[in-house]
Amino acid sequence: MISILKHTLQIGEYNYEKAGKAFIRAKCVYRSSINDF
């Protein structure tokens, strides 16, 4: 039971980190596209 919980938390952390990186990348792309205009 505990190992399942740990595994779920690890997946959650990984997905959160991935989402954070994607958000930062999108923000950079958005900012650079504004500067182009």
- Taking only the tens place, the pLDDT of each residue in 1-37 is 788 888 888 988 988 899 999 999 999 888 888 776 5
- Helix residue spans in 1-37 (DSSP H): 2-36
In whole angstroms, give the CA distance from residue 24 to residue 27: 5
pLDDT of residue 36: 66
In whole angstroms, give the CA distance from residue 6 to residue 11: 9
pLDDT of residue 9: 86
**pTM for the whole structure:** 0.53
Placement of tokens 């900012």 in the chain: 31
